[in-house]
């Protein structure tokens, strides 16, 4: 089998800090949120719904039709955290052991509740159990039953991998078997598929864990049925028991307009699209289906080369949370849902597995360091659902076009898909850092920690030490057994003038570079050290000139991080800020500021506080008054952690001249 489960540990550094935040703050906070114990936050009711479904409480179901998935994603995050600790083993501190014990106790409580709510036939969805017992599986287009089941399965796989817990695996197999008994090509089964994809990728995870091929076949069935004529969503509507929940009737919205192998453009609801594409890529990986792989490549190209924000955010349109057309990437009305960036991150990893090309991990990195972690406050207690590239608070308050854009992270959401999603992705980061294909170990992301796996029957192990993303020093120390294999280290697409050394001797990477990875095929001995040094220059990134919103502007990058301007540092009228073309950026790392960030400063100008004319329109040839100012750029992910204010990623340059 080409695919092998592997995860690195996440130890220290940038991601160790983030994962620690998830462990000590985010997961405990979200457990409270799911238990409705956060004052002044929108009520989750998710756990209460399970209690009601299990007969342990009275009352009515509350929340979205897919409220179950919030608990499942939380549980998945818990599973990943426990897996991480188990992998790190004895190195864990007693503080950490204590919090892990608490997390495991909560997880057990959740599992007991989930198991108690499950029906004897394996069915489990508290909305339908409590509210609509006669309408199970009657509205696949909208009811999110398979979506929730998918998140349950993912949670079960993660928890079982992390703790060996058998009870959750039993629950998961029971619901998977129930679904397998209800859907499929056989006569008497429903020939349908879900409106919101998710169960497909989950079933493949379950197949990979259990080796049970029925789950893979069912996933393939769901993917293959999608978009066929006559359209299943029309057919199911003919059932008298059909009912309407949201009323969105668009096929492209759910990527069901044509069969998946014919699809060419990333379309519709961005999270749904990503979850479908992940399953397609997983299937291509498992089955070698070349047409499916080609469709994945096309869709990935569409999403990332024409429809993605510079932050790795996707989904330009708030209405339908959807992709727009090519190059339509408005920054101020952006949706760029945290979940969609997470989806793109996962889809890109699957593409890396399929094609071993570094451009996929480049996009993983772009999404991860920018449009994903921007969804999480530095204290772990509030979240962004929407991740705009430009915010003017007064406009968000006054103009309903921007009603979806928040300038304060929220403690919880009525539709709370993003908060637990960001928890689980950070908790599972070790699963995305390396991959293996044949004799090659690919280093995709630079996350301090240890990777251990088997290549050619040998125990291979590598420790990564790095100050990334603040520093460009990336040091791999080999600590496995002597083994001949190809170690392929990604050279980021943004890097220039990287230098390399093997055991202290400089290496010319040009001869070693293939599809963006530096390939070191050799016999590795314990104690071997490979060092990659990436100069972290400040880069001014331009968008394609077809992007209206960014025309004539630049986005400041350093390493994988996109930077932004905030009002707290640069005044209010950020749209009028101009960065000097002649400027040298000053780079300063502030360990105590915004959780520890490297700040960038540059010469530039802002709109003067006095002397701006009152006229709304004028044929005066006088230019608006500007003031020279040292501009301060902070990492995009760290915005909105201080006072409320304006923010922008795209910035004008002085003396624009396109000739």
Check binding of 298 to its own copies (CB under 8 A).
no
User: According to CB under 8 A, which one of 328, 381, 532, 644 is a site residue for its own copies?
Assistant: 328
Check binding of 237 to its own copies (CB under 8 A).
no
Q: List 16's β-bridge partners, or say none.
A: none
* Number of chain positions touching its own copies (CB under 8 A): 69
Side-chain half-sphere CA neighbours of 475 within 13 A: 11
Check binding of 655 to its own copies (CB under 8 A).
yes
Span 167-206, contacts to its own copies by CB under 8 A: none
Query: Crossing angle for the helix pair 338-355 and 270-287, nearest 10 degrees?
Result: 20
Side-chain half-sphere CA neighbours of 24 within 13 A: 13
Span 364-393, contacts to its own copies by CB under 8 A: 392
Check binding of 302 to its own copies (CB under 8 A).
no
Distance CA(523)–CA(506), nearest Å, equals 18
Span 562-581, contacts to its own copies by CB under 8 A: 573, 575-576, 578
Strand 440-443 vs strand 483-490: parallel, antiparallel, or unpaired?
parallel
Check binding of 35 to its own copies (CB under 8 A).
no
Minimum CB distance to its own copies, residue 538 (Å): 10
User: According to CB under 8 A, which one of 541, 568, 587, 594 is a site residue for its own copies?
Assistant: 541
Distance CA(442)–CA(452), nearest Å, equals 12
Residue 417 catalytic? Answer: yes
Strand 650-653 vs strand 578-579: parallel, antiparallel, or unpaired?
parallel
Distance CA(305)–CA(334), nearest Å, equals 17
Contact (CB, 8 A) for 496 and 533: no
Straight-line distance from the first to the last Cα atom of the chain, in angstroms, rounded to the nearest whole number: 54
User: According to CB under 8 A, which one of 39, 186, 615, 643 is a site residue for its own copies?
Assistant: 615
Strand 517-524 vs strand 483-490: parallel, antiparallel, or unpaired?
antiparallel
Check binding of 546 to its own copies (CB under 8 A).
yes
Give the binding range for its own copies (CB under 8 A) out of 38-46, 140-148, 170-178, 549-557. 549-557
Span 384-443, contacts to its own copies by CB under 8 A: 392, 394-395, 397-401, 403
Minimum CB distance to its own copies, residue 125 (Å): 29
- DSSP structure class, residue 476: E
Q: How many CB atoms within 10 Å of residue 338?
A: 26
Distance CA(475)–CA(466), nearest Å, equals 6
Check binding of 264 to its own copies (CB under 8 A).
no
User: According to CB under 8 A, which one of 54, 130, 594, 626 is a site residue for its own copies?
Assistant: 626
User: According to CB under 8 A, which one of 27, 159, 179, 318 is a site residue for its own copies?
Assistant: 318
Give the binding range for its own copies (CB under 8 A) out of 98-106, 112-120, 188-196, 304-312. 304-312
Residue 148 catalytic? Answer: no
The one catalytic residue in 76, 145, 321, 390 is 321
Backbone angles phi, psi at 60, to 5 degrees: -105, 150
Minimum CB distance to its own copies, residue 264 (Å): 14
Contact (CB, 8 A) for 87 and 453: no
Nearer to its own copies, 226 or 558 (CB): 558
Minimum CB distance to its own copies, residue 639 (Å): 18
Span 467-496, contacts to its own copies by CB under 8 A: 494
Indicate the SS3 state at residue 475. strand
Minimum CB distance to its own copies, residue 409 (Å): 22
Check binding of 582 to its own copies (CB under 8 A).
no
Distance CA(500)–CA(352), nearest Å, equals 23
The one catalytic residue in 339, 396, 417, 564 is 417
CA atoms 386, 392, 394, 398: torsion sign: negative
Structure tokens at 488: 């392929």
Check binding of 645 to its own copies (CB under 8 A).
no
Backbone angles phi, psi at 636, to 5 degrees: -55, -40
Contact (CB, 8 A) for 111 and 159: yes
User: According to CB under 8 A, which one of 107, 157, 281, 308 is a site residue for its own copies?
Assistant: 308
Give the binding range for its own copies (CB under 8 A) out of 410-418, 431-439, 455-463, 539-547. 539-547
Minimum CB distance to its own copies, residue 47 (Å): 32
Helices (H), 118-193: 126-130, 145-163, 166-182
Run of H or E residues at 407: none
Q: How far is CA 138 from its chain centroid?
A: 31
User: According to CB under 8 A, which one of 287, 325, 482, 586 is a site residue for its own copies?
Assistant: 325
Q: Which residues bind its own copies (CB under 8 A)?
A: 304-306, 308, 310, 316-320, 322-326, 328, 330, 332-333, 392, 394-395, 397-401, 403, 494, 539-548, 551-552, 555, 557, 573, 575-576, 578, 605, 607, 612-621, 623-624, 626, 652, 654-659
Q: Catalytic residue positions?
A: 321, 417
């Amino acid at each position: 089998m080409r695919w092998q489960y592997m995860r690195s540990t996440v130890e220290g550094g940038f991601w160790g800090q983030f994962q620690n935040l998830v462990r000590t703050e985010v997961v405990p906070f979200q457990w409270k949120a799911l238990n409705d114990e956060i004052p002044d936050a929108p009520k989750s009711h998710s756990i209460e719904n399970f209690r009601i479904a299990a007969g342990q409480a009275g009352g009515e179901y509350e929340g979205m039709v897919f409220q179950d998935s919030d608990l499942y994603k939380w549980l998945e995050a818990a599973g990943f955290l426990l897996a991480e600790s188990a992998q790190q083993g004895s190195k864990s501190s007693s503080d950490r052991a204590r919090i892990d014990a608490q997390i495991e106790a909560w997880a057990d409580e959740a599992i007991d509740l989930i198991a108690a709510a499950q029906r004897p036939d394996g069915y489990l969805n508290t909305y339908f159990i409590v509210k609509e017992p006669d309408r199970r599986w009657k509205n696949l287009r909208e009811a999110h039953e398979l979506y929730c089941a998918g998140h349950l399965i993912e949670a079960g796989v993660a928890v079982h991998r992390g703790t060996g817990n058998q009870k959750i695996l039993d629950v998961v197999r029971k619901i998977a078997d129930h679904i397998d008994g209800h859907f499929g090509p056989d006569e008497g089964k429903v020939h349908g598929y879900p409106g919101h994809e998710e169960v497909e990728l989950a079933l493949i995870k379950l197949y990979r864990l259990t080796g049970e091929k029925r789950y893979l076949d069912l996933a393939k069935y769901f993917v293959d049925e999608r978009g066929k004529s006559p359209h299943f969503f029309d057919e199911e509507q003919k059932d008298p028991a059909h009912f309407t929940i949201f009323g969105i009737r668009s096929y492209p919205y759910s990527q069901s307009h044509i069969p998946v192998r014919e699809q060419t453009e990333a379309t519709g609801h961005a999270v749904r699209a990503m979850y479908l594409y992940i399953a397609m890529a997983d299937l291509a990986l498992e089955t070698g289906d070349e047409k499916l792989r080609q469709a994945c490549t096309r869709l990935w190209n569409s999403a990332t080369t024409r429809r993605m924000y510079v932050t790795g955010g996707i989904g330009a349109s708030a209405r339908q949370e959807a992709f727009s057309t090519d190059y339509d990437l408005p920054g101020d009305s952006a949706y760029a849902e945290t979940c969609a960036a997470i989806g793109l991150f996962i889809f890109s990893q699957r593409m890396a597995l399929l094609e071993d090309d570094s451009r996929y991990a480049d996009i993983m990195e772009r999404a991860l360091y920018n449009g994903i972690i921007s969804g999480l406050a530095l204290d772990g207690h509030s979240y962004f659902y929407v991740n705009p590239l430009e915010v003017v608070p007064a406009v968000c308050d006054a103009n309903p076009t921007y009603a979806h854009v928040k300038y304060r992270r929220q403690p919880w959401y009525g539709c709370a898909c993003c908060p637990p999603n960001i928890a689980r992705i950070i908790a599972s980061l070790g699963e995305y850092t390396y991959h293996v294909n044949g004799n090659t170990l690919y280093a995709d992301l630079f996350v301090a920690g240890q990777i251990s796996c088997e290549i050619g029957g040998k125990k291979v192990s590598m420790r990564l030490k790095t100050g990334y993303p603040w520093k460009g020093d990336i040091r791999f120390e080999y600590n496995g057994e002597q083994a001949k294999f190809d170690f392929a280290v990604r050279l980021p697409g943004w890097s220039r003038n990287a230098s390399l050394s093997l055991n202290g001797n400089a290496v010319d990477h040009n001869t070693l570079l293939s599809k963006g990875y530096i390939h070191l095929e050799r016999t590795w001995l314990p104690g071997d050290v490979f060092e990659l040094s990436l100069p972290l220059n400040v880069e001014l990134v331009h968008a394609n000139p077809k992007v209206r919103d960014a025309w004539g502007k630049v986005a400041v990058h350093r390493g994988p991080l996109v930077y932004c301007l905030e009002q707290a540092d640069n005044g209010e009228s950020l749209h009028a800020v101009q960065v000097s073309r002649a400027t040298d950026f000053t780079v300063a790392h502030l360990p105590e500021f915004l959780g520890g960030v490297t700040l960038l400063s540059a010469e530039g100008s802002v709109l003067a506080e006095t002397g701006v004319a009152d006229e709304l329109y004028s044929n005066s040839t006088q230019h608006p008054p500007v003031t020279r100012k040292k501009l301060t750029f902070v990492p995009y992910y760290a915005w909105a952690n201080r006072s409320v204010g304006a923010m922008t990623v795209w910035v004008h340059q002085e003396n624009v001249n396109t000739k």
